[in-house]
Amino acid sequence: MRILTFTSLFPNAVRRELGVFVYQRVAGLARRTGHQIQVMAPVPYFPSWLPIRRWRMFREIPNAGTVGTLPVVYPRYLLSPGIMPLHGFLIFLGCLREASRLHRRYHFDCIDAHYVYPDGFAAVLLGKVLGIPVFLSARGTDINVFPGFRLIRPMIRWALNQAAGVVAVSAALKELVRSMGVPADKIRVIANGVDAQRFHPVDRATARRELGIPDDAQMIVSVGSLVPVKSHRLLVLAMAKLAKRNPKLRLYIVGEGQLRANLAAGVKEQNLQECVFLVGGQPNETLKLWYSAADVSCLASLREGMPNVVLESLACGAPVVATHVGGVGEVLFSETLGILVEPSVEGITAGLERALQRQWDRNFIACHAHARTWDVVAEEVERYFVARRGLARSGMLTS
């Protein structure tokens, strides 16, 4: 098939790890015989005279490039900060000319759009103009949060029902999509995969030596952006309880975000400066060291789709303590892999205490995770796209 992948979350020259999980799925599909893929990753237009520092990076993104072996174009669209109901229309308008040019050249069979809003909504509009089917992938916030906005919900529902098919990365997301009036047989659950070449166990002593972590410490790692939904605050409060009983316990929080100063203040308030460390953002390729060095990985999120950090932790042999939200329970379906807890200080404390006292079979955990590679995911996506396009051609496609 000739496929136009459409998503604003895709690696670029400035942010090389942006949407790496989208890249991995698309790259896996491109490796399969018979597919030609062009990526369109719209970015906001940034006029040079605007003195807004955090937007300046958009000017540094080239108009086109290559990520891995995938050709990518980065068309610009006008951004209206704070007016989310317009974002989908603005992305559509900003991409229409380039999408039309590419379609005249390649004659795409379908559009593969990631995130239902605003990207998916814009992609469905493009599909209507170009006369090609659109597949939407629901990944988390687009279905967990955005339908709660009164003006956005109708656009999400319209896009879902107009799409040729919908991929949900978890069964929990599928149910939310179905609750918006989308037929169940139109939605396919295709969970994320893991890059086994990047995420694999490293000798623990070696990993700790490279990271400068004491060999005799009991170590917890938590990887994620420092934003409210990741709820690192609960983890810090849990550490305040655990550290009193275990002086060798250490927590390393890997990530950056708007709550860094608040978290640092919380660590100081709890007198945890000697056992809780905010290590900042780390390159994706070094995360295997953090997971391999840790006794346990922890995710304290209040809301999730299908969190990649859980899959990556397991692929490195690290058991996971995670809040039972979204699709997390579909990954940690057995206590041989980790422990599910409630999103509370008490739940996280108890779960971590159990995990730290237990002997885990880290080789089993890693082998289990490595069974679901991105190539496996790509095969499932391919089968679904082909089947839905077949129904469309026969006139049997449901909407």
Percent of the chain with pLDDT over 70: 95
- The answer to the question of residue 399 being in a domain is no
Cis bond leading into 118, ω under 30°? yes
- The answer to the question of residue 198 being in a domain is no
Q: How confident is the model at residue 231, as a pLDDT?
A: 94
- The answer to the question of residue 10 being in a domain is yes
Tens-place pLDDT, residues 167-223: 999 999 999 999 999 999 999 999 999 999 999 999 999 999 999 999 999 999 999
Q: How confident is the model at residue 57, as a pLDDT?
A: 77
> Residue 234 phi/psi, 5° resolution?
-65, -35
Edge-first strand order for the sheet with 218-223 is 276-280, 249-254, 218-223, 296-299, 320-323, 338-341
Q: Same domain, yes or no, for 229 and 335?
A: yes
* Dist. CA 215–CA 209, nearest whole Å: 8
> Residue 138 is part of a domain; what is its CATH number?
3.40.50.2000
Tens-place pLDDT, residues 97-117: 999 999 999 999 999 999 999
Dihedral in degrees, nearest 10, Cα atoms 265, 268, 272, 276 = 40
Q: Same domain, yes or no, for 148 and 221?
A: no
Q: Same domain, yes or no, for 345 and 294?
A: yes
Q: Same domain, yes or no, for 263 and 129?
A: no
Q: What is the largest CA-CA distance in the chain?
A: 67
Residues of the chain with pLDDT under 70: 47-55, 390-399
Q: Same domain, yes or no, for 365 and 379?
A: no
- The answer to the question of residue 199 being in a domain is no
Q: Same domain, yes or no, for 74 and 97?
A: yes
- The answer to the question of residue 98 being in a domain is yes
The number of distinct structural domains making up the chain is 2
pLDDT averaged over the chain? Answer: 93
Q: How confident is the model at residue 52, as a pLDDT?
A: 64
SS (H, E, C) the chain: CEEEEECCCCCCCCCCCCCHHHHHHHHHHHHCCCCEEEEECCEECCCCCCCCHHHHHHHHCCCEEEECCEEEECCEECCCCCCHHHHHHHHHHHHHHHHHHHHHHHCCCEEEEECHHHHHHHHHHHHHHHCCCEEEEECCHHHHCHHHCCCCHHHHHHHHHHCCEEEECCHHHHHHHHCCCCCHHHEEECCCCECCCCCCCCCHHHHHHHHCCCCCCEEEEEECCCCHHHCHHHHHHHHHHHHHHCCCEEEEEECCCCCHHHHHHHHHHCCCCCCEEEEECCCHHHHHHHHHHCCEEEECCCCCCCCHHHHHHHHCCCCEEEECCCCHHHHCCCCCCEEEECCCHHHHHHHHHHHHHCCCCHHHHHHHHHCCEHHHHHHHHHHHHHHHHHHHHHCCCCC
> Residue 184 phi/psi, 5° resolution?
-60, -35
The structure tokens listed for 80 are: 């209206």
Q: Same domain, yes or no, for 32 and 146?
A: yes
* Dist. CA 235–CA 191, nearest whole Å: 27
Q: Same domain, yes or no, for 10 and 126?
A: yes
Q: Same domain, yes or no, for 224 and 363?
A: yes
Q: Same domain, yes or no, for 314 and 171?
A: no
- The answer to the question of residue 294 being in a domain is yes
Q: How confident is the model at residue 33, as a pLDDT?
A: 82
- The answer to the question of residue 311 being in a domain is yes
Query: Which range marks the domain in which residue 238 is found?
Result: 204-370
* Dist. CA 363–CA 348, nearest whole Å: 25
Kindly report the pTM of this predicted structure: 0.89
- The answer to the question of residue 257 being in a domain is yes
Residue 35's alpha-carbon distances to 61, 106, 115, in angstroms, are: 27, 12, 22
Q: Same domain, yes or no, for 380 and 306?
A: no
Q: How confident is the model at residue 393, as a pLDDT?
A: 57
Q: Same domain, yes or no, for 37 and 105?
A: yes
